[in-house]
């Protein structure tokens, strides 16, 4: 399950893990004009962990989900 919220300067997607025996904390994906952040609370440390991806990294991540195992390089030509 997930939710989508459109804010003034970003879009926030929250992924909820509720159908598995080993529940994980919610994942919050925030999309800005120039980057995307992915956040998840760590109950062991009591801290929120954040990863920031450039839009190019997000594009490559999305493309990688449909590719077989291997190494790929972006063709700039």
Residue 59: inside a domain: yes
**pTM given for the model:** 0.82
Residue 73: inside a domain: no
Q: What is the pLDDT of residues 35-61, one digit of tens each?
A: 999 999 999 999 999 999 999 999 999
Residue 72: inside a domain: no
Residue 21: inside a domain: yes
How many distinct structural domains can be found in the chain? Answer: 1
Mean pLDDT of the chain: 89
- Cβ atoms of 30 and 37 within 8 Å: the answer is yes
Between 38 and 74, the more confident residue is 38
Domain that holds residue 55: 2-64
Give start and end residues of each alpha helix (H) in the chain.
55-64
CA distance 48 to 28: 10
CA distance 10 to 39: 15
Residue 69: inside a domain: no
């Amino acid at each position: 399950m997930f939710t989508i919220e459109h804010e003034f300067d970003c879009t926030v997607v929250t992924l909820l893990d509720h159908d598995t025996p080993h529940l994980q904390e919610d994942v919050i994906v925030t999309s800005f004009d120039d980057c995307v952040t992915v956040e998840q609370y760590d109950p062991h440390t009591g801290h929120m962990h954040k990863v920031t991806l450039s839009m190019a990294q997000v594009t490559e991540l999305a493309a990688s989900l449909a590719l077989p195992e291997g190494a790929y390089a972006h063709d700039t030509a």
